Amino acid sequence: MTSSSKIPDNERRVTWRLSQLLVLGAFFVLVSSFWNSEKSEQTAQVDPPVTSENSTTTAASDAINKPDDARSFTFAASGEILVHEFVADAARSSDGNSWDFMYMFESVQQVLVSADLSICHLETPLSENNSSLSYYPNFEVPYELADAISSAGYDGCSVASNHSLDTGIDGISSTLGHLQDAGIQTAGMRDEDRHSSSLFEVNGITVTHLSVTDTLNGSSLPTRPPWLVSDLDIGRIILDAQGMRSSGAEFVIVSVHWGEEYISDLSDHQQETVKALLDSEHIDLVIGHGTHVPQSVIVHNEKYAVAGLGNFLSNQPGDERRRCNECPPATQDGMILWLEMEENEEGKIVVVQASYYPTWVDRTNYEIVLLDFHESSDISSETLLVSAERTANVVEPLLKRATSLPGD
């Protein structure tokens, strides 16, 4: 967490993405329970997938009456980028001296590029010069991954995780440096030259991104000094968000790395933390990572918490080369969260529509597969259907499954 709550002056501008004005007719259909204060907090139930015809489009009730010139933006966030050894091997050049991860993101690039703001979660530290790579339990992965993240269409990444200090302070600096060189803003780790929060100007709207972790391998939190890796201190997060807000932030996103691995249901700790964060008027959205499987969704105070986006790129559940015996099939599942934000009549930026694109990791070549929009005949349609249903059973009906690619 930043040592000062003031928004830094040297934040880099965000690369403008090709944005489209999405048709929002009938988008203000409200879940009836949103009008009932007794049901203002909801957790997604394990229900059968709902079709696009009867999916619920949720919207903040105070967004019903909007000004004609209301500002808006679209937002995409994806699951964990966790580069195991076999992921890196697939990207390694024939001469063994370089790595190209770009093809792994080709299937999802159209979604990420189309969003006005796209955020990733990078869990593995980047090597300074690839001279001492390592994989599990301590990671130091090829720095070329930063270029692939940029090429995929991301504007920023959360980087606070249990692996943040796998390679010490030098690993923090190299990770932040390579991402900065690739044009990617970062949140969650800090060195002497960089801040631990991100600031974006999106369609005239100021958006702040904070990132924290609830766990750190082989070390305790907070770190020494505490600003190295931002930890899950609710009071400090709210104070930082308040400072950002007072300095001009209009929408505050908090990424949290947390949860019990491989468990889709939220723990009491997660639910209580979500409520505490979303009770603050200064925090607008919570997105989570860390369990390696999609997790339930909460709507509280008409604000969203998508607690776990699943794995986006990894070698889990593994195979005969490195079997993760405790990893369920759902560790190949992930999603791209797609949100539409709009200014209401009070000038507040709120979520007016929430949906998602289910994803799956094809471990034959480590391509991230965008389900429903993948045409390869090499993958069993039943395999993809089962994956999509697993994710739907966790996150629907509070998230609506996207039925078309943005721009189509």
DSSP letters of 10-38?
Answer: TPPPPPPP-------TTTT---GGGG-GG
Q: What rounded mean pLDDT belongs to the chain? A: 85
286 contacts 317 by C-beta, under 8 angstroms: no
Residue 91 tokens read as: 């990207």
Cα–Cα distance, 266 to 288 (Å, whole number):
11
According to the CATH classification, is domain 32-401 in 3.60.21.10?
yes
pLDDT of residue 8: 40
372-376: Cβ within 8 A, 24+ apart: 372/401, 372/402, 372/403, 373/107, 373/405, 374/107
104, pLDDT greater than 50: yes
| All structural domains of the chain with their residue ranges | 32-401
**Which H helix or E strand runs over 199?**
strand 197-202
- Which residue type sits at 335? M
pLDDT digits (tens, 9 = 90+) for 194-221: 888 999 999 999 999 999 999 999 889 9
pLDDT of residue 49: 29
Q: Which residues contact 263 (CB under 8 A, 6 or more apart)?
A: 291, 293, 295
256 contacts 214 by C-beta, under 8 angstroms: yes
pLDDT digits (tens, 9 = 90+) for 355-402: 999 999 999 999 999 999 987 767 888 999 999 999 999 999 999 999
Cα–Cα distance, 112 to 138 (Å, whole number):
29
101 contacts 365 by C-beta, under 8 angstroms: no
Determine how many CB atoms are found less than 10 A away from the CB of residue 284.
27
Output the pTM of the full model.
0.84
186, pLDDT greater than 60: yes
Q: Is 89 exposed, middle or buried (0-12, 13-18, 19+ CB in 10 A)?
A: middle
Q: Strands 311-313 and 156-158: what pairing?
A: unpaired
